[in-house]
Amino acid sequence: MQKRHFVGYGLVCFVVGMAVQAGLAQDKRPTYSPGLFKNLSPNDAATTLLDGALQLAGNGSWERIAVARAWYLGGEKARGQTLLDEVTGSKRVEASDWFRVARVYEEAGEWDKAATAFDTALAMSPKDDTGMIEAGGLANLHQDRPRAEALFERAFQRNPRHFWHWVNAGGSYLGVRPQ
């Protein structure tokens, strides 16, 4: 009987310890202080702030993509790519995630990667006429007029009277990015 009490007591302690540890782990969030980034090199300040942002992001895909974008466009492509791969490799990845990843690649001047990401997003969300216009407008800006016009056609078939479709498609022929 005494052995059971020790085992039970040990089990209760273990469960309470795990609960406390889980609670403490959840509270590990960055806190702002006036000296957080002052007097640091730009790279150290960026690392401090982006690491804090990543902690705050948790599992949020859009937030993680935002941090990845800062790293990727800021010259730390490997760090950014790792985060992008984590988001796009998740079982919970959505079309909106792929659109955001495509925008990062396009902004970095990597149209081939952006076009592939846009294709993935549109395959996941084949009725997204706004996404088609955006991808088409950017394709037009990257001298891929056949792709642009095919996407424009699909979008206008779905929603021919959408004002912003007309503006974004038309503007792309003048070198204006879709908004």
Contacts of 91 (CB under 8 A, 6+ apart): none
Mapped onto helix, strand or coil, the DSSP state of residue 71 is helix
Per-residue pLDDT, averaged over 52-76, amounts to 97
Is the C-alpha dihedral spanning 110, 69, 126, 155 positive or negative? negative
Give the per-residue pLDDT at 30.
83
**pTM value > 0.85:** no
pLDDT per position as a tens digit, 118-173:
999 999 999 999 999 999 999 999 999 999 999 999 999 999 999 999 999 999 99
**pLDDT, tens digit (0-9, with 9 covering 90-100), for 84-95:** 999 999 999 999
Give per-residue pLDDT as tens, 3-33: 665 555 555 555 556 555 555 455 568 888 8
Q: Please give the Cα distance from 134 to 152 (Å, whole number).
A: 9
